[in-house]
Amino acid sequence: MNKPLMAKATAVWLVDNTTLSFKQVADFCGMHELEVQGIADGDVAPGVKGFDPVGNNQLDAGEIEKGQKDPLYKLKLKFNAAAVGEEKRRGPRYTPLSKRQDRPAAILWLVKFHPELSDGAIGKLVGTTKPTIQAIRERTHWNINNITPVDPVALGLCKQSELDTSVQAAVRRRASEGVVMSDDERRKLVSTEQSLGMSAEPKMPSGLEVFTRPEKEEKPADFSDAESFFNLPQQDDDEDEDEDDAPRR
């Protein structure tokens, strides 16, 4: 623990019952010096009841004596074995009640536009569980037909920096696994600068081959010669017919 329990109430008690400086109280309670000064002036936490850190086993009385004698002395929080590892709890991110109904839309957006993200990464970004993510991936969610994908950053469920960090981690993981991705997938995975710098050479040969094949056959020239050849007898026949008709007239 970096600060005592009920830090603001502890600061109120220290201001009312000791001669410690505002900076000493602020450093011990994890607050700003001006906020502690506001407590002394009655502008901050006017209705908060003081919380005794000595009686609640958070601070030794000797620490207060040392601090009152030396204004530069920093109070040391009393060691509490029961609080070791308290801040290292693991679990999904807390989502306010007003935004929990937006989580399915954010999950669908991440699944659609960032399929490289694992269920664990999506759970950390949005604050949901793996069964919910799996149901949306498999389109077995009870309300899947009414869910519209929405960017979780726009919904306020995560920060853009957190999303970029997760995507970059997924890119590195795929690269280490040697997964071959198409151009469309690569543009989704990498950053915008990297996507704009990607070469389009793989697409060129396939298009050129299609256009170069008809040029080798040269069929139009053969047909034109054949037409000119077969037109000659037709002209001779017409002349013979004219000669046969001449004496009759």
Geometric angle at alpha carbon 102, from 101 and 106, rounded to 5°: 140
Q: Would you place residue 79 in the very low, low, confident or very high pLDDT band (cuts 50, 70, 90)?
A: confident
* Residues 182-222 pLDDT 10s: 555 555 554 444 444 544 444 444 444 444 444 445 555 45
**Average pLDDT rounded to a whole number, residues 39-61:** 87
Q: What is the mean pLDDT of the chain?
A: 75
Tokens 């050129």, residue? 208
Cβ–Cβ < 8 Å for 24, 63: no
What confidence tier does 5 reach under pLDDT thresholds 50, 70, 90? confident
**Residue-level pLDDT at 103:** 92
The string of pLDDT tens digits covering residues 151-189 is 999 888 988 888 999 999 988 888 887 765 555 555 555
